[in-house]
Amino acid sequence: MRSLALTQIYLGRTQKKALAACAEESNRKVSEVVREAVNIYLMGVTMGDLKMLGAATARAQQDIEATPADNCFSLLPCAGERRCRRKNKKPARWHQGGLCG
């Protein structure tokens, strides 16, 4: 295990609650969440980067939700009896041209 140095930081009440919630949600200790945040900061990730990532994620989610159910755009092979999202039709061995065959 790497050696760690004890460091004391002062947090606002809302910061401490938010860190505790993040830690609980991910089943980790608060100190692990803090170390992860420090590592991200030291890598040079900025709030602007995070905002752009959040906006791009939201747009991608909207695109996914707006995709018609019968448009299988995956190029992954269909496995055996697995059904495509297209109303119980057996898909072709491979999804071709965006639609199941």
Q: Do residues 78 and 93 share a domain?
A: yes
Q: What would the DSSP string read from start to end of 3-47?
A: ----------HHHHHHHHHHHHHTT--HHHHHHHHHHHHHTT--H
Residue 89 lies in a domain: yes
Q: Do residues 18 and 56 share a domain?
A: yes
Q: Do residues 18 and 49 share a domain?
A: yes
Residue 84 lies in a domain: yes
Residue 8 lies in a domain: no
pLDDT reported for residue 70: 58
Q: Do residues 24 and 42 share a domain?
A: yes
Please check whether residue 19 is in contact with residue 30, taking contact to mean a CB–CB distance below 8 angstroms.
Answer: yes
Q: Do residues 51 and 87 share a domain?
A: no
Residue 91 lies in a domain: yes
pLDDT reported for residue 1: 55
Range of the domain at 39: 13-66
Angle formed at CA 43 by CA 40 and CA 47, multiple of 5 degrees: 60
Q: Do residues 26 and 49 share a domain?
A: yes
Domain count for the chain: 2
Residue 96: helix, strand or coil by DSSP? strand
pLDDT reported for residue 2: 76
Walking along the chain (101 residues) 10 residues at a time, the average pLDDT comes out as: 87 95 94 93 93 93 76 51 51 45 42
| pTM of the shown model | 0.54
